[in-house]
C-alpha cells in the first residue's frame, strides 16, 4: 500500500498571508489524519514564508505515534534567525523521514533533484548524521538523471523521491508517455539498488492513478498544492479520502 503524506505548507501560507492563527495547522493535520492519511509532510524554508520552526515542533508532537512526519529541506541552507538549520531542526523534531531537497532560498517551489553523481560526496556526512538521529533519509531526484543509486544505498540512504513535476506538466498537455517512462525507468533502477521509491510534486487526482499503476511499488506520495486546492471545493476530509481511494 502506498502511503499518502499530505503536505500542509499551503495551510501555513494562507495563515501567514493574514497573520494570526487561522487556518489552524494543527486542525488541518488532525482532519487529514482522521480521514486516513499515513503521513504529514512539511517543507520549512529559512525565510519562514510558510511552515515555521515552531510549526514543525507542534506537528512532531501531534503526529508522534500516529502517522509519519516527513520533514523536507535543503541540508546545506545555513542557520539564521528563526531557522536553526535543517539538520538541527530534524534533531529537534525527530521525524520518521528526512527528505533532502536541493532548493535555493529564492525558489518559489522545488524544481529539480540532486545530481547524485556530483552531490553524493557532499551529502554523505549529512546522511550519516541524520541516520544517527534515527530518521529515514530520502533524496529528491530527477527522473532519468541519476545513476548512483547503489552508492547512495551504501551511504545509508533509504529512499529516493522522484520529482514528478515534468510528468504532471506533460500530463496536463496530453503527451505524458515519455515522461512517465522516465519515472518508471528511474524507479526500477532505484528499486534494483535496494532503495524504496517515493514521489511528489504536482501530482493530483487526474494524474495520480496512471502514475501509481505504472509504479505499483511506490512507498509514498507527498501531495500538497493540488490536494489543498481541491479541498477548497470539496472539503479536506473528502479530498484526502479520494486520494486514498486512487492509491488503493
DSSP result, 145-187:
----HHHHHHHT--EEEEE-HHHHHHHHTT--HHHHHHHHHHH
Point out the catalytic residue in the list 68, 161, 179, 201: 201
E strands within the chain? 3-7, 39-42, 68-73, 97-100, 136-142, 159-163, 196-200, 220-223
The DSSP output letter for 80 is B
Gyration radius (Cα) of the chain, Å: 17
Residue 235, C-beta contacts closer than 8 angstroms, at least 6 positions apart: none
Q: What gap in Å lies between CA 139 and CA 172, rounded to an integer?
A: 26
Point out the catalytic residue in the list 50, 68, 72, 230: 72
Point out the catalytic residue in the list 43, 50, 68, 230: 43
Chain centroid, CA 174 distance in Å: 25
- Active-site residue flag, 112: no
- Active-site residue flag, 43: yes
Q: What gap in Å lies between CA 223 and CA 248, rounded to an integer?
A: 16
Q: Grid cell 528511474 — which residue? A: 186
Active site residues: 43, 72, 201
Amino acid at each position: 500500500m502506498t502511503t499518502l503524506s499530505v503536505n500542509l505548507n499551503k495551510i501555513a501560507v494562507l495563515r501567514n498571508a493574514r497573520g494570526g492563527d487561522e487556518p489552524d495547522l494543527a486542525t488541518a493535520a488532525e482532519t487529514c489524519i482522521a480521514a486516513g492519511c499515513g503521513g504529514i509532510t512539511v517543507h520549512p524554508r529559512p525565510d519562514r514564508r510558510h511552515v515555521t520552526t515552531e510549526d514543525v515542533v507542534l506537528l512532531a508532537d501531534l503526529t508522534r505515534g500516529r502517522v509519519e512526519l516527513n520533514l523536507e529541506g535543503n541540508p546545506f541552507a545555513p542557520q539564521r534567525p528563526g531557522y536553526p538549520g535543517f539538520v538541527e531542526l530534524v534533531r529537534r523534531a525527530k521525524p520518521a523521514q528526512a527528505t533532502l531537497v536541493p532548493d535555493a532560498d529564492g525558489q518559489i517551489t522545488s524544481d529539480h533533484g540532486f545530481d547524485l553523481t556530483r552531490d553524493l560526496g557532499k551529502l554523505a556526512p549529512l546522511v550519516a548524521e541524520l541516520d544517527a538521529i534515527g530518521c529515514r533519509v530520502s533524496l529528491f531526484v530527477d527522473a532519468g538523471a541519476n545513476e548512483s543509486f547503489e552508492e547512495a544505498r551504501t551511504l545509508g540512504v533509504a529512499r529516493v523521491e522522484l520529482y514528478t513535476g515534468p510528468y504532471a506538466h506533460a500530463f496536463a498537455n496530453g503527451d505524458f508517455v515519455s515522461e512517465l517512462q522516465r519515472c518508471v525507468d528511474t524507479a526500477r533502477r532505484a528499486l534494483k539498488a535496494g532503495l524504496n521509491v517515493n514521489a511528489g510534486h504536482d501530482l493530483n487526482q487526474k494524474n495520480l492513478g496512471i502514475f501509481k499503476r505504472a509504479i505499483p511499488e511506490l512507498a509514498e506520495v507527498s501531495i500538497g498544492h493540488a490536494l489543498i486546492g481541491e479541498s477548497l471545493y470539496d472539503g479536506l476530509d473528502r479530498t484526502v479520502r479520494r486520494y486514498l481511494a486512487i492509491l488503493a
